[in-house]
Structure 1
């Protein structure tokens, strides 16, 4: 048994170096390779399968029947070998036949072997083959043996590619499948529109040599590259042009922390110890990172892994001398940047005058690059599958994030339509901006309250831009989501005080942290098993009451920040009145503690609850006397009412906010809440859509908290609406709902001159 992964891999690579340098055929080299590997890890079978013409072909083996070479073939996903290649992941089994994907190939004579381990041979992030070992004993291969196999597989990738043994498509290609105009959908990350020519963020770095001649020399090369990379990041974070304050600063601080992570540097050094060159060692560690990312369901932790991959790309370019990212070469024209993913620092390198948008193959709403792009004002479309194969360098792109699409290679008709939409967007934006100081009053003189949702320090500036009445929902969890560690009380307090300072006399409703479930934090460990339904699980107030230390810190930070002012606190995911009582008592205990120590206090504390869990509506008579305000969170409420996950694309459009079920539910809440004298608001996407907002007003809801971009359109709708008329119409509709509620409301709005743009 090898004493370490590095020693085992180094033993194999030393012998492979001579094989690769020999003047023999590729087949003879592979025959030697399987013999060397089998002997080194004492495995009776070692086989290499290569992807050729779309199938995995047994190309060389030690231990299986030689008559099966070039005869045994497996489709992607077929058998254990096909599964490894399709999923690009490792299998390590003590009994191969027990695996559900096992497929017996009698011509190989493998029936006497029990244990099995296989690793993908990866080139350009795709599996181009599989390296597999087998043994008669029922045992799992040791971790050091698997690590050695993965290192060897990396070297094999170079050998088989140079020999032309794999499909061109298997090696990866950046050429688009079509040159015709194409509409490509994606996820809206940062709203906006932009036109420009496609530029790939990162040209592929080709590693010429994988096996090291001098390990000490390779280690010195890596040390020098680390120094240069860290120096560049330090300079970049100092010079970022954002103004003072903002979550992007915390993002960059977290990114910088990764750059100085000694564990990452140690893993690269261990890979060099195994016999790899500096470039190959960085790539080897990067491959491990990618494999871990495929296994991570938590999008927040995956975002942190993306930062590490971004740094790996930066380091490998430095050590190889291939420094030419698109940013470093320079943008010569209006550009839409294309990337699999981006780190926040890489985005900062681009000329903001030329950069008109970003299209990502991955990306998420909580990704660091999204937060930085929002601060830069750069529209971003994410989750665009196969974008690097559908778009070619230099293609004209029309990016419309509000529509969730990017057009590649548009014809003249598409271009004209885009330009018309862009002009209309700018015209509407100007018209809505003109309404900034105009109050949202209906035609019959009823004044509504329009507030905005926020979560970042920068979002608060929308109050002045839109003329909103305040912040109806400040999501305090965003500070937690972008931090590498739990934010300390002082940091929380500073954020809350800055938000209140900018808001001035306008109210701010702080929602306590809604984390956990589908917004898990990598630094907040759970002991329970993985949740099948995270949105309905251990999250929000449920987590806060159990981890009351976290909630006490936040309570004290909010109380300190609001000293001398009114503090509005809202608790999320309240299911029963006792949960609200416990949360309020926790805040009051902290207030009493601070009061005893003579700390300056808020002049008033107003407590409220989020109505997201339908069960709470059945106990409103108990809850309403205890609260000052109630906010209906329509996003979660809808999915709970319909038992429909809003993140599931098959269900996303199936259940309508204007269904009788939703509207009748809301109507049942409005009556008792108004009678109790409790302020009632809707804070969710529903309130930010003109037709839906019109229906809510018709139900008697006159407080909306919406996205800043929606304030103008909603204000325009309100000023064109007769409140008493829509109230009467809604009463009739709910008494006898039509099959098409949305259609009925749209027809009424058009007939009554309601502005719905």
Structure 2
């Protein structure tokens, strides 16, 4: 078979002539399937188009002609319907073996075994499908699929211009609403914001798809590449919100894509096949979207989002339509609306007017979330069908803390939001007034309140909140945002910067907790726990680190060098048995000897600790305790392990209460087993940042909490209202003779004493 480029070019040339002819629409499509079939040596070539909500067989070479305009499939029905529904290609050696195969006898397709199909995409939605089939069972070669995808992309524009497809059917699946709507999503960066909807990216309509001069098109796209790279370089050098933050690593990864020769080569190959520069970029972008749908690794998917962001930027430049909402300027307080957003795109906006962001996609690990957090912009993600519910200029009240966006809100919703905003401002002012107040209970017990962090940019929250230190610094974040394994000097710089910014306040560094659901593309899949059936309980955290000694040695040396002249608090995650702690400590001690032999400045003191997340560790604390300086109880993982319930599963997230007697009794037993040991016990995690839960923990004898910065003020306020002896007695009573609803009992107890528990 001829190459994909030459086959596609031959097809495109002939298609252009056919569609420019004066034949009627049906005659044109009949010629199109013959042209494609001949050039790809295909026994069957069929075109299905969306009409009246159904995929109708419009033309075929190889199937029964009597089936044309008779065979109709719903979107999602059969193999053709699945291609349209998922907007992705299928390539099958044996079509009948696929679970979605649907036999239609009128087509006479029973003798054809192999099957390949690609969606015909118009404005990001499938308006049809292009199918080829052979009698011989075989998978189609990559060059054949690429030729099909190129032809389908051009065919979409041509059939649309000829009025062969009802675009209303394709584009009206998400109807515009004029009534008030409340949309829900995933809080990515918490906060409240109000403004008018601004769509991030106006649609660029590609008018010409077939190139007249491919060399001229290549020059156009290369000039656009140069301009885009210059923009990215300038943007990376002018980031204003703090020097040296993790967002810099994000932008470096972003730059890596901008200079990726493979990407530019694929665009050039698409131009060589006969496409214009705009059509070639769109063609490669469509392929990227299809690949994204097949990626179940969230971190790799985010990197693909970065590439799509760059594709949009390149497309605007090459077409001369350089204006996004950012470049055109925001005229007032704005809530940005987008399917997804890249980090560099967000940086272009005027931060005085950009109040919030709502995304159809997005995840907690997205690069844009890191940048948005540094900018202080609330972000709500995973809002399904977002762009079908919102119009440009609509008023939006965004509550990214509760995960709600109110579109075109009514009077009652506006009043409630304004009241909440005012109350929030009052609370924040009251919490700010507690910044320098030490949290003593009414009976004089000092509770240490620390913050959790993972970014260099989180450290200033120590002074803003008046927290006692960083009780958990998640070192893995640097690994998650990097394109490659962070070099030792980069790690050292981060840890040193964090220690210097914290000043005299302690910082507890947790060694990397990667693997499982936090897989890294640059680690081999079999090593990073990506394929674990239960990733939270799989090859991750300390297990993975001990299995990759080089990774842990580099981090150990970085932490030891960064803490030269200071106290180093290092904590090992997911310790299940004492030997794991011993092995991890041995790595640090060996690196300490290495640095000592080279007369490097060493830490004044090293305090080693462990995280109690795996319940098994509680059974051997008597063995481990003499070796520990501190123990941190990780309530998020501990809870799901105790209940065998994934808290990320929405069906289970609220089923098992943190104030369950099972959890409370377990933690009480842990505290009792440590009696007599001089060990600092801290609770890390969301549980300690909720007032009623924190009250229960204090009642169990816990005096150290490490929580989110936003929770420091509320917990300080609550601590000053309680008597520890009184809550300890109440907890003993409730746990010795469990009540039906411990939460309700605690609420009643707190309200009787005027303790703010909500």
TM-score (normalised: structure 2): 0.98
Matched residue, 1:160: 159
Give the deviation of 1:84 after TM superposition. 1.3
Matched residue, 2:145: 146
Matched residue, 2:687: 686
Return the alpha-carbon distance in structure 1 between the equivalents of residues 242 and 665 of structure 2: 47
Give the deviation of 1:163 after TM superposition. 2.6
Return the alpha-carbon distance in structure 2 between the equivalents of residues 73 and 415 of structure 1: 47
Matches within 5 A, 1:81-92: 81-92=80-91
Structure 1: which 5+ runs fail to align?
none
Matched residue, 1:65: 64
The answer as to whether partners of 1:175 and 1:391 remain within 8 angstroms in 2 is no
Matched residue, 2:737: 736
Q: Secondary structure at the match of 1:43?
A: coil
Q: Secondary structure at the match of 2:167?
A: coil
Matched residue, 1:559: 560
How many aligned positions are there? 756
Matched residue, 2:587: 586
Matches within 5 A, 1:268-279: 268-279=267-278
Give the deviation of 1:114 after TM superposition. 1.2
The answer as to whether partners of 1:176 and 1:391 remain within 8 angstroms in 2 is no
CA deviations on 1:373-398 (whole Å, 9 max, x unpaired) are 11111111111111111111111000
Give the deviation of 1:532 after TM superposition. 1.6
4+ residue segments displaced more than 4 Å: 173-176
Structure 2: which 5+ runs fail to align?
none
Matched residue, 2:386: 387
CA deviations on 1:364-420 (whole Å, 9 max, x unpaired) are 122111111111111111111111111111110001111111100001111111011
The answer as to whether partners of 1:363 and 1:382 remain within 8 angstroms in 2 is yes
Matched residue, 1:575: 576
Return the alpha-carbon distance in structure 1 between the equivalents of residues 46 and 576 of structure 2: 57
Give the deviation of 1:677 after TM superposition. 2.1
Matches within 5 A, 1:4-23: 4-23=3-22
The answer as to whether partners of 1:124 and 1:171 remain within 8 angstroms in 2 is no
Return the alpha-carbon distance in structure 2 between the equivalents of residues 174 and 224 of structure 1: 38
TM-score (normalised: structure 1): 0.98
Matched residue, 2:74: 75
Give the deviation of 1:449 after TM superposition. 0.4
The answer as to whether partners of 2:242 and 2:457 remain within 8 angstroms in 1 is no
The answer as to whether partners of 2:336 and 2:356 remain within 8 angstroms in 1 is yes
Give the deviation of 1:45 after TM superposition. 0.6
The answer as to whether partners of 2:115 and 2:133 remain within 8 angstroms in 1 is yes
Matches within 5 A, 1:394-405: 394-405=393-404
Give the deviation of 1:634 after TM superposition. 0.6
Return the alpha-carbon distance in structure 1 between the equivalents of residues 439 and 193 of structure 2: 31
Return the alpha-carbon distance in structure 2 between the equivalents of residues 379 and 5 of structure 1: 46
Return the alpha-carbon distance in structure 2 between the equivalents of residues 14 and 652 of structure 1: 57
Return the alpha-carbon distance in structure 2 between the equivalents of residues 563 and 303 of structure 1: 36
Return the alpha-carbon distance in structure 2 between the equivalents of residues 393 and 737 of structure 1: 55
Q: Secondary structure at the match of 2:177?
A: coil
Matched residue, 1:233: 232
The answer as to whether partners of 1:127 and 1:170 remain within 8 angstroms in 2 is no
The answer as to whether partners of 1:451 and 1:471 remain within 8 angstroms in 2 is yes
Q: Secondary structure at the match of 2:459?
A: helix
CA deviations on 1:232-283 (whole Å, 9 max, x unpaired) are 1222222221132211112112211211111111111011111111001101
Give the deviation of 1:164 after TM superposition. 2.8
Matched residue, 1:96: 95
Matched residue, 1:281: 280
Give the deviation of 1:170 after TM superposition. 4.5
Matched residue, 2:341: 342
Matched residue, 1:707: 708
Matches within 5 A, 1:353-392: 353-392=352-391
Matched residue, 1:647: 648
Q: Secondary structure at the match of 2:675?
A: helix
Return the alpha-carbon distance in structure 1 between the equivalents of residues 273 and 13 of structure 2: 10
The answer to which of 30-39 and 5-14 deviates more is: 5-14
Q: Secondary structure at the match of 2:460?
A: helix
Matches within 5 A, 1:312-461: 312-461=311-460
CA deviations on 1:429-454 (whole Å, 9 max, x unpaired) are 00000000111111111000000000
Return the alpha-carbon distance in structure 2 between the equivalents of residues 566 and 380 of structure 1: 37
The answer as to whether partners of 1:174 and 1:388 remain within 8 angstroms in 2 is no
The answer as to whether partners of 1:673 and 1:680 remain within 8 angstroms in 2 is no
Q: Secondary structure at the match of 1:374?
A: helix
The answer as to whether partners of 1:673 and 1:679 remain within 8 angstroms in 2 is no
Give the deviation of 1:636 after TM superposition. 0.8
The answer as to whether partners of 2:612 and 2:634 remain within 8 angstroms in 1 is yes
CA deviations on 1:639-658 (whole Å, 9 max, x unpaired) are 11111112212221211111
Change (3 A) 1:348 1:291: same
